[in-house]
Amino acid sequence: MSLRTRIRPRGFQVFIALLIAAAVCVVVAGCGGSGGSSDSTESGGETTESTGAGSDSAGVARAKAAVAKYEKPPTSIGITKPLKTKPATGKTIDMVVCNLPVCKIFITTGEEAAEALGWHVKAIYTTGTPEDINAKISQAVSEKPDGILTSGWNRSVYEEALKEAEAAEVPIVTSGTTDKTEPPFIANTVGIPVFVRNGEILGNFIVADSNGKANVAAFNIAEYVHLRALAEAIESTIEKQCSECGAKVVEQQLTDIGTDLPSNVVSTLQADPSINYLAFTDGNFSSGVVAALREAGLSEKVKIVLEDPTEANFPEILAGNEYAGLAYSQPWVVWTGFDSFARYFEGEDAQNPPLAMPTQILTKSNLEAALEGATNTWSPPNMQQQFKELWHVE
Amino acid sequence: MNKPPDSVPVPSDGGELVSSEGDGVRPRFHLSLPPLNNVSLLMVWAAVILLFGITQPETFLTAQTAKAVASDQAITAIMALSLVMPLAAGVFDLSIGSVMGFSVVMVAWFQSTAGMSPAVAIVLTLLCGLLIGTVNALVVVRLGVDSFIATLGMSSILLAAIQWVSGGQQIVTGIPSGFTDLGREQIFGIAMPFWYMIVIAIVLWYLLGYRQTGRYLYATGSNPNAARLAGVRTDRLKAVSLMSSASIAALAGIIFTAKIGSASLEAGPPYLLPAFAAVFLGATQFRSRTFNVLGTLIAVYVLATGVKGLQLSGAPFWVEDLFNGVALIVAVALSVRASRKRA
């Protein structure tokens, strides 16, 4: 019996199936990617290779100067104009937030801000899918609150619910999106300029820390458009400050967090062993990465830096497993949101200055002092007091 | 009821459904080489290794890559193994993803919020999995609901339960190091989840291949009427298979949490498709047209090796889903086509 007849269709079909699958993937991957880098910017995904030799001393000096002020705690909350009068009490704000730990912080700090103003807060959690965001915003609108506070989703995700809010004249304060301040939005407290600035800070920090010898893989979750701006700012800053450095953006998907992302990070490092920095555009994205690097024996070969370190990241930073985090104060976002509502209700301009958000580079050496006893979030020093003074409430 | 014979009759379609070593005689414990056509996945695996070994020699052909693949796919392999028994019995369990997700949250909650020790948390979580499987079994066997629908419904219920228990919040702190050590310690440089998977695989392989329960399961899956007429307790076997799949999925969730050190609310469902892809792909191997342990494991690692090679080649993040989906559809479609031609 010949070999051909012994290989029955059943076995041969598996062979064909996997070859087809592999061929499809190779073709599609080849069409979708370029030069070995994964999905990056529409402009072409600039990927520069680090030669690992020499340093751009002028760029390093510029980078060090640029990050110097962020290595110390900020002194101002970035908003300095007081309200003309003390705001009216008795308002109700619905907060539509995500189901990550960071959003629990949103609610608890929202309740603190509301208490200072004599207002009430209702929390509505969403899974983050477009359908659920629409449903929850719509639910909030139907409750006819004085305002809705939300964060992180571009209006295109929940346009239907926004129409309902506009029709019902319910003002919305958002943050962390690319949205312009158009009805029903009365303010976007953290717009794209902040994320670009934060990306520049991280990029400069990496250049300064590496003394101009960095090769960075910046991991972002594709669903978060505003964080893509941050990732691109990291990439462009590094390329601008350091001609010998390399940087690329590696896109992942939301369901990869804690599941495939850690192994994808390892694969990225294996594919390019010259990478010596990993940047995550949000602290939540690094879930499981430290463990994966440890398993792969790569812990000592890279430094992890991230934006918006969370309570899960703080122990890792203190232990030296994660190198640095750029603080993104969720409490500041919330208090600024309430500040916007207070100004709106009193007939004043609700939109805060675009780069008002204070920040600080948190490392093992300064983290405990920076947290001031808190375990789950960072706030600018004396933040609540400064807001209360602006609101004429004590 | 007559006591069922020690060997169950082979169905008339001629499929190789039982290890027929002679009526009434328990098969001897021995290994025999399967026909060449039933080991095509091994050939494919070799071809994939060869392909990426040539294109990515410095990064692909390393011990680090092998260990990473072995370790990274352990959870997927465990989830795929959880499906072997129910599929062998002819029932679907679409709830395993949510069972895993639920157990991730529960084992973390028991420790971080309820303050229980790791041992107690693990036992309680496994019991939760067993309970879920029992409910699935009752709905399918007693109420007569199709397993596809019943377990799909259970999956949705568990997604709600995950949100309810966790309060919509991931659990990132309060998990003791004694628990995470269970998922992070290494033997021969490979993390513990891989070794747990090996143990589970050995137990299932022995049960399905060398015990009467295994023969009866396959008989139930291939021809439930004939099996029932032969005295096999098909309902009981279906129930046991659903309870086992949920328990193993719960175990996968426990191992996942120990490895990661936190409880994500989206942990389980992403493993559903890869698990089914592996089991169906593995069903074409070794034991022809039956769901089997060895074929499943080989399928998991063949797919994983292919994906790893593509990742090292710079493929984007969605290549894994694409690869699994295409491989599953094409393999099963060709299998169905071949079956129709033979019929």
- Contact criterion met (CB < 8 Å) for A291 and B170: no
- Integer Cα distance of B177 and B184 in angstroms: 10
Q: Contacts of residue B302 in chain A, CB cutoff 8 Å? A: 18
Q: What pTM value is reported for the model? A: 0.76
Regarding predicted confidence, which is higher, B162 or B29? B162
What is the C-alpha radius of gyration for chain A, rounded to an integer number of angstroms? 24
d(CA B302, CA B274): 12
Please state whether beta strands A92-97 and A120-125 pair in parallel, antiparallel, or not at all (unpaired).
parallel
Does residue B321 carry a pLDDT above 70?
A: yes
Q: Tell me, what's the pLDDT at B317?
A: 73
* Inter-chain touch A291–B338, beta carbons under 8 Å: no
Low-confidence ranges of chain A (pLDDT < 50): 1-9, 29-54
The rounded distance, in Å, linking the Cα atoms of A323 and B275 is 36
Q: Is B5 helix (H, G, I), strand (E, B) or coil?
A: coil
- Looking at residue A348, its pLDDT comes to 94
CB A361 within 8 A of CB A378: no
- Take residue B1 and report the two structure tokens written for it: 């009821």
What residues contact residue B317 under an 8 Å CB cut-off, 6+ apart? A38, A39, A222, A250, A251, A252, A253, A256, A260, A264
| Distance, CA of B281 to CA of B275 (rounded, Å) | 10
Rounded Cα distance between A87 and A146, Å, is 13
Pick B41's closest partner by Cβ from A14, A28, A253: A14
Q: Decide: A106 and A174 in contact? Cβ < 8 Å.
A: no
- Chain centre to alpha carbon of residue A76: 22
Angle (nearest 5°) at CA B190 between B187 and B195: 70
- Whether residue B314 and residue A29 make contact (CB cut-off 8 A), yes or no, is yes
Sign of CA dihedral B324, B328, B334, B338: positive
Chain B residue whose CA is closest to A288: B260
- Gap between the Cα atoms of B189 and B185, Å rounded: 9
Cross-chain Cβ contact B335/A10 below 8 Å: yes
Residue A291: CB partners within 8 Å, gap ≥ 6? A262, B183, B184, B259, B260, B261
Q: Give the mutation candidate from A3, A25, A284 for the B interface (greatest B CB count, under 10 A).
A: A25
Distance between CA atoms of A218 and A195, rounded to whole angstroms? 14
Of A16, A100, A256, the CB nearest to B317: A256
Taking CA atoms, A22 is separated from A15, A27, B42, B303, in Å, by 11, 9, 16, 10
Separation of alpha carbons B83 and A266, rounded Å: 29
Quickly count: other Cβ atoms within 10 Å of residue B3's Cβ: 6
Task: Find, among A256, A271, A259, A260, the residue nearest to A215 by Cα.
Answer: A271
Averaged pLDDT of chain A: 85
pLDDT at res. A4:
43
d(CA A227, CA A281): 6
Residues of chain A with C-beta less than 8 angstroms from the C-beta of B183: 291
Largest Cα–Cα separation, chain B: 64
pLDDT above 90: residue B39: no
- Give A-chain residues touching B335 at CB under 8 angstroms: 10, 13
Yes or no: say if A289 and A278 are a contact pair by the CB < 8 Å rule: yes
**Nearest residue of B to residue A249 by CA position?**
B316
Inter-residue contact A359 to A327 (CB < 8 Å) = yes
The CA distance from A88 to A347, in Å, is 12
Contacts of B316 in chain A (CB under 8 A): 29, 32-33, 38-39, 251
Which positions in chain B touch A252 (Cβ < 8 Å)? 317
In chain A, helix, strand, coil percent, each to 5?
A: 45, 15, 40
How far apart are the C-alpha atoms of A25 and B188, rounded to whole Å?
33
The helix/strand/coil state of B285 is: coil
CA gap A393, B79 in Å, rounded: 56
Average the pLDDT over B293-301 and give the result: 93
pLDDT, residue A254, reads 78
Chain position carrying tokens 């350091």: A242
Alpha helices in B8-138 (DSSP H): 40-55, 57-60, 63-72, 74-88, 96-112, 118-137
Q: What is the pLDDT of residues A165-214, one digit of tens each?
A: 999 999 999 998 888 889 999 999 999 999 999 999 999 999 999 999 99
User: How would you classify residue A205: left for phi > 0, otherwise alpha for psi between -120 and 50, otherwise beta?
Assistant: alpha
Inter-axis angle of helices A192-210 and A225-241, to 10 degrees?
40
Q: Give the pLDDT of residue B342.
A: 58
DSSP B21: S
Q: What is the predicted pLDDT for the residue at B22?
A: 39
Chain A nearest C-alpha distance from B3 (Å): 36
Is residue B11 over pLDDT 70?
Answer: no
Q: State the nearest Cα–Cα gap between A61 and chain B, in angstroms.
A: 33
Per-residue tokens: B6: 């020690």
CA A77 to chain centre: 20
Task: Give B225 to chain A, closest Cα distance, Å.
Answer: 26
**Contact by Cβ (8 Å): A218, A248:** yes
What CA–CA distances, in Å, run from B141 to A59, B4, B135, B204, B239? 71, 21, 10, 23, 7
Distance of residue B336 Cα from the nearest chain A Cα, in angstroms: 10
Tell me: the pLDDT tens digits for B46-105?
888 898 999 888 888 888 888 888 988 999 999 999 999 999 999 999 999 999 999 999
Q: Per-residue DSSP letters for B86-98?
A: HHHTT---TTHHH
